[in-house]
Amino acid sequence: MALLDLSEEAAQLSRQIDKKRDDLRGRTLINLFFEASTRTQSSFELAGKRLGADVMNMSVDTSSVKKGETLIDTAVTLNAMRPDLLVVRHYSAGAVELLSQKVDCSVINAGDGSHEHPTQALLDALTIRRHKGQIDGLIVAICGDVLHSRVARSNILLLNALGARVRVVAPSTLLASGIERLGVEVYTSMHEGLADADIVMMLRLQRERMISSLIPSQREYFHFFGLDFEKLARAKPDALVMHPGPMNRGVEIDSNVADDVRSVIREQVEMGVAVRMAVLQALARHLPNR
Partner 1 sequence: MHEQDQHRPPRAIAFVNARLIDPSSRLDQRGGVLIQDGRIADLGPHIEAGAAGEAMLIDCQGHVLAPGLIDMAVLTGEPGHEHRETLATASRAAAAGGVTTIVCMPDTDPVIDDAALVDFILRRARDTALVNVHPMGATTKGLLGEEMTEIGLLREAGAIALTNGKTSIANAKVMRNVLAYAKDFGALIVHHLEDPSLAKDGVMNEGEIATRLGLRGIPAAAETIVLERDIRLVELTGGRYHAGQISSRASLDVIRTAKLMGLPVTCGVSINHLTLNENDIGSYRTFFKMRPPLRSEEDRRAMVEGLAAGDIDVIVSAHDPRGAEGKRRPFAEAADGAVGLETLLGAALRLYHNGDVELSQLLRALTANPAHLLGLEAGRLAKNAPADLILIDLDTPWVVAPERLRSKSKNTAFDGEQLQGRVLVTVVAGRVVYNYADDPGP
Residue type, 45: E
Q: Which of 150, 167, 209, 243 binds partner 1 (CB under 8 A)?
A: 150
Q: Binding of partner 1 at residue 179 (CB under 8 A)?
A: yes
Beta bridge partner(s), residue 89: 33
Q: Identify which range of 12-20, 89-97, 199-207, 244-252 contacts partner 1 by CB under 8 A.
A: 89-97
Residue 19: count other Cβ atoms within 10 Å of its Cβ. 15
Instruction: Return the residues of window 58-87 that contact partner 1 according to CB under 8 A.
Output: 70-72
Q: Binding of partner 1 at residue 185 (CB under 8 A)?
A: no
Q: How far apart are CA 124 and CA 242, in angstroms?
A: 8
Considering the complex, state which of residue 179 and residue 282 has its C-beta at the smaller distance from partner 1. 179
Q: How far apart are CA 23 and CA 286, in angstroms?
A: 12
Residue type, 290: R
Size of the site for partner 1 (CB under 8 A): 23
Strands of the sheet with 28-33, listed across from one edge: 54-59, 28-33, 85-90, 106-112
The 8-class DSSP code of residue 57 comes to E
H helices, E strands: number in the chain: 13, 9
Q: How far apart are CA 100 and CA 86, in angstroms?
A: 9
Q: Binding of partner 1 at residue 279 (CB under 8 A)?
A: no
What is the smallest separation between the CB atom of 232 and partner 1, expressed in angstroms? 28
Q: How far apart are CA 235 and CA 192, in angstroms?
A: 10
Q: Identify which range of 88-96, 201-209, 264-272, 280-288 contacts partner 1 by CB under 8 A.
A: 88-96
| 132: annotated active-site residue | no
On the question of a cis peptide bond just before residue 246, with omega within 30 degrees of 0, the verdict is yes
Considering the complex, state which of residue 203 and residue 277 has its C-beta at the smaller distance from partner 1. 203
Beta bridge partner(s), residue 249: 253
Q: Binding of partner 1 at residue 94 (CB under 8 A)?
A: yes
Q: Binding of partner 1 at residue 90 (CB under 8 A)?
A: yes
Angle at 159 between CA 171 and CA 194, to 5 degrees: 40
Q: Identify which range of 13-21, 107-115, 123-131, 249-257 contacts partner 1 by CB under 8 A.
A: 107-115
Residue type, 142: I
What is the smallest separation between the CB atom of 200 and partner 1, expressed in angstroms? 22
Q: Binding of partner 1 at residue 32 (CB under 8 A)?
A: no
- Which is the catalytic residue, given 89, 165, 204, 243? 89
Q: Binding of partner 1 at residue 98 (CB under 8 A)?
A: yes
| 191: annotated active-site residue | no
Residues forming the site for partner 1 (CB under 8 A): 70-72, 90, 92-95, 97-98, 112-116, 150, 153, 176-179, 181-182
Which residues does the annotation mark as catalytic? 39-40, 67, 89, 117
